[in-house]
Structure 1
Amino acid sequence: MPTLNKLSALQVKSASPGKYNDGGGLWLHRRQDGGGQWFLRVQIHGRRREMGLGSLSEVSLKEARQLAGRWRAVAREGKDPIKERQRLLREAAKADHVLATIAHEAYEARKAELKNDGKAGRWFSPLELHVLPKLGRIPIEEVDQQDIKNALSPIWHSKGETARKALNRLGIVMRHGAAMGLDVDMQATDKAKALLGKSRQKRKHIPSMPWQEVPAFYASLDEGSITHLALKLLILTAVRSHPLRFCQLDETDGDTWIIPAERMKTGKEFRVPLSIEARNIIEQAKPFAREGFIFPSVRKGVISDATMSRLMERRELEARPHGFRSSFRTWCAEATDTPREIAEMALAHEVGGKVELSYRRTDYLEKRRVLMESWAQHVQGQSSNVIQLAEGQ
């Protein structure tokens, strides 16, 4: 049996340039520059192999002996320790590149593009709920269309919109993996979509109230409560529920309400013209204000979207608060001559391609002011003539 542990720590530290045998195939190569390298010599199928075990500055004599013992055992099994180490490194790399890890990295990289840095969690939730539980531990390079199809097929027809979002997000994750230099199948999501076929689920729009019925509903909101006042301002401004519920006193400046970019779906600051009636509602709501919020909750924070929805449910109405945006837009189309660009801008929708938008830098605030005043008159049941907001005006 070959002699082991021939060297001492002092010999290793004071060794001059040259090669020193510790026994059992473990060697130290001390260089002229003072550095050193451990290596192991083994015989595999009659062929000598030399395997580096690390530099002297990073691997002690004790650690070098432990490594040598580990790889000698591999050699005794008839395996090439160098190839075995490479295989293990590849496996470790794959473990670091599982789909779940890359998905979280892709999410972090996109946060700046998402509303409020994605804190609401809506961007990631389709992946977290419907993809990662089944595919999260698979190396992203091994994910194929059949894996994706199997993961999404249970919800493809029952939760079509969620499944579509999950597939879209997964495509972004796959592209992120490719950008990292990983060998991913860039067409996997498209091929999975072909395997899944067309979703049988029909997209449902949020129920809205016919614009002709809005005045009667508006008049019924006569309690002066936070919920009634919030619904009134929601109707008058045609904004989404989130920016309205989080409206703060210092955001309203006279006849204009400036909604910060982080509360807009577009991620851009938006100016809302306030009609006379809208300003009256804000004045009525000010006594309820707490911590700067115009529509605070009874307990903490602000009122929820469900609070307004439940009011409409109790009245056995099919329409929901978000549907008043549709009521307003239909009124614009059927009862006014409002140009499409202005009507869409009133809803904070962008109309036109990138080139057109880069040149059209107006938000039509003054024209929208006229429009929203006319809408307020309709909402209050006051007769108003068909308004005209031609492009040239």
Structure 2
Amino acid sequence: MRAFNKLPSNAAASLPAGKHEDGGGLRLVKKADGGGQWVYRYSLHGRRREMGLGPIPAVSLKAAREEAAKWRARVAMGYDPIAERDKERANRLGGLFKEVALDAFEARKAELKDDGKAGRWLSPLEQHVFPKLGKVPIAQITQRDIRDCLAPIWHTKAATAKKAINRLNVVFKHAAALELDVDIQAVGKARELLGKQRHKETHIPAMPWQDVPEFYHSLEEPSVATLALRLLILTGARSGPIRMLKLDDIEGDVWTIPAEDMKGRVGAVEDFRVPLSSEAQNVIEAALPFARNGFLFWNRKNVISDMAMAAIMKRRGLEARPHGFRTSLREWLAECTTAQHEVAEMVLAHKTDSSVVRSYRRTDFLDQRRPLMERWAQHCCGQDGQVVRMVSQ
């Protein structure tokens, strides 16, 4: 068997998901969605390491082989390819803050939802840091520079400032890893100089559960945004999964939300099942004419925007917002049912107990949640109901 060049020339397109060896330490890690990554695996000083060589199809098999051969020669000479490449990057970047920040973002794309395409990771830096410090060598940036940069928003835009300082911390650590001469403590010192934020956390306004039936009844217009809002109310789901709902994710009376679409679950392996009440199924049926490209709530060129449902409530002069219906549902569960705490929290996909306890509790309480969601739908539709009593199993 050949020791090198084992993969066929069309490997990137033809091979299934999994790990495929080309020989000499070069490996193709293929994803189920068709994407993938070239990886060079090597041992140095008794230590096994893996070095990413780029994604497919941007990096061809030929280019990956050439890159692997380059680093294989460096290993033979006793050099660490990862350390060598970091030095090359540092020299190429020139150490300007913006360039280092963009490099840090590239290195962390895999950790972000949809590879960070939404731009949320970089947004705080682009808006509030790049204009002042983007062209400054990161080695010259002090805690006073960071303080002066964030002071205007530290209290007035507290959440954004907090995100910005967290990103700054990541960028400075990345610069240190590139062996740039930075003060790794500069961000922490800046936080001390900025002091405690005066901002008080405010909760998203929610509609009292008693008022939900009247509002739900008013959503008679058969528009895509109105139907999406109705399904959001009925399921207690966040707006993101509602907007991205795919027809293939619905089977019978169960909607399965992929793990990557669940808030705070980037990299998670567990999907979340949502029991669909009769009314929820009716809403889905009514929305089918809007379905395009596999998505249920399609509007012209894409799925409906994040503001589409909120605009309905804003136009009516309501203080409450779509996300607040999760609070409405949770309060209804507490006041009008005898559901166990774990079951009620699972309705909203909230995590309870420690990770150890959750590892032993392998249920998502789907059967217990079904009657609760059916009863909630009846309440939303204005049908008087009795307290739901959960039978111990």
TM-score (norm 1): 0.71
SS in 2 for 1:258: strand
Any idea what the Cα deviations from partners look like across 1:74-103, whole Å, max 9, x if unmatched?
Answer: xxxxxxxxxxxxxxx9xx949622222221
Task: Give the distance between the partners of 2:117 and 2:149, measured in 1 at CA.
Answer: 25
CA contact (8 A) 1:127 1:166 kept: yes
CA contact (8 A) 2:93 2:99 kept: no
Task: Give the distance between the partners of 1:270 and 1:214, measured in 2 at CA.
Answer: 25
2:223 pairs, out of 219, 222, 225, with 225
Which sections of structure 2, spanning at least 5 residues, go unmatched?
Answer: 1-86
SS in 2 for 1:361: coil
What's 1:333 paired with?
334
What's 2:174 paired with?
176
Q: Say if 1:109 and 1:389 are closer, same or farther in 2 by CA, change over 3 A.
A: farther
What's 1:254 paired with?
252
What's 1:167 paired with?
165
What's 1:200 paired with?
198
Task: Give the distance between the partners of 1:140 and 1:359, measured in 2 at CA.
Answer: 47
CA contact (8 A) 2:241 2:257 kept: yes
CA contact (8 A) 2:93 2:100 kept: no
Give 1:164 deviation, angstroms.
0.6
Give 1:128 deviation, angstroms.
1.5
1:214 pairs, out of 212, 215, 219, with 212
Give 1:305 deviation, angstroms.
2.8
CA contact (8 A) 1:255 1:273 kept: yes
What's 2:283 paired with?
281
CA contact (8 A) 1:115 1:264 kept: no
> Residue 285 of structure 1 aligns to which amino acid in structure 2?
A
> Residue 386 of structure 2 aligns to which amino acid in structure 1?
N
Written as runs of structure 1 = structure 2, the 5 A alignment for 1:90-129 is 93=91, 96-129=94-127
Give 1:129 deviation, angstroms.
1.2
> Residue 304 of structure 1 aligns to which amino acid in structure 2?
S
In the comparison of the two structures, how many residue pairs are matched? 302
CA contact (8 A) 1:211 1:328 kept: yes
Q: Say if 1:370 and 1:177 are closer, same or farther in 2 by CA, change over 3 A.
A: farther
CA contact (8 A) 2:143 2:190 kept: yes
Give 1:162 deviation, angstroms.
0.4
Task: Give the distance between the partners of 2:190 and 2:332, measured in 1 at CA.
Answer: 42
Q: Say if 1:107 and 1:349 are closer, same or farther in 2 by CA, change over 3 A.
A: farther
> Residue 374 of structure 2 aligns to which amino acid in structure 1?
E
SS in 2 for 1:337: coil
The answer to whether the aligner puts 1:354 opposite 2:355 as a matched pair is yes
Task: Give the distance between the partners of 1:254 and 1:145, measured in 2 at CA.
Answer: 57
CA contact (8 A) 1:245 1:303 kept: yes
The answer to whether the aligner puts 1:319 opposite 2:317 as a matched pair is no
Q: Say if 1:358 and 1:136 are closer, same or farther in 2 by CA, change over 3 A.
A: farther
> Residue 367 of structure 1 aligns to which amino acid in structure 2?
Q
Q: Say if 1:339 and 1:135 are closer, same or farther in 2 by CA, change over 3 A.
A: farther
Give 1:260 deviation, angstroms.
2.2
CA contact (8 A) 1:116 1:263 kept: no
What's 2:149 paired with?
151
Task: Give the distance between the partners of 1:351 and 1:143, measured in 2 at CA.
Answer: 42
1:234 pairs, out of 232, 235, 245, with 232
Give the CA RMSD over aligned residues: 2.4
Task: Give the distance between the partners of 2:316 and 2:198, measured in 1 at CA.
Answer: 32
CA contact (8 A) 1:235 1:324 kept: yes
Task: Give the distance between the partners of 1:361 and 1:99, measured in 2 at CA.
Answer: 46
| Identity level (%) | 58
What's 2:297 paired with?
295
Give 1:124 deviation, angstroms.
1.3
SS in 1 for 2:273: strand
Give 1:199 deviation, angstroms.
2.0
Q: Say if 1:300 and 1:136 are closer, same or farther in 2 by CA, change over 3 A.
A: same
SS in 1 for 2:274: strand
Task: Give the distance between the partners of 1:207 and 1:172, measured in 2 at CA.
Answer: 33
Any idea what the Cα deviations from partners look like across 1:303-347, whole Å, max 9, x if unmatched?
Answer: 223222222122111111121112112222232233333223222
What's 1:382 paired with?
383
SS in 1 for 2:136: coil
Task: Give the distance between the partners of 1:344 and 1:115, measured in 2 at CA.
Answer: 24
CA contact (8 A) 1:236 1:372 kept: yes
Give 1:213 deviation, angstroms.
0.5
> Residue 256 of structure 2 aligns to which amino acid in structure 1?
I
CA contact (8 A) 1:94 1:139 kept: no
Task: Give the distance between the partners of 2:237 and 2:147, measured in 1 at CA.
Answer: 38
Q: Whose radius of gyration is greater, 1 or 2?
A: 1
Q: Say if 1:191 and 1:133 are closer, same or farther in 2 by CA, change over 3 A.
A: same
Give 1:227 deviation, angstroms.
2.4
Give 1:207 deviation, angstroms.
1.4
Any idea what the Cα deviations from partners look like across 1:23-55, whole Å, max 9, x if unmatched?
Answer: xxxxxxxxxxxxxxxxxxxxxxxxxxxxxxxxx
Q: Say if 1:352 and 1:102 are closer, same or farther in 2 by CA, change over 3 A.
A: farther
Which sections of structure 1, spanning at least 5 residues, go unmatched?
Answer: 1-88
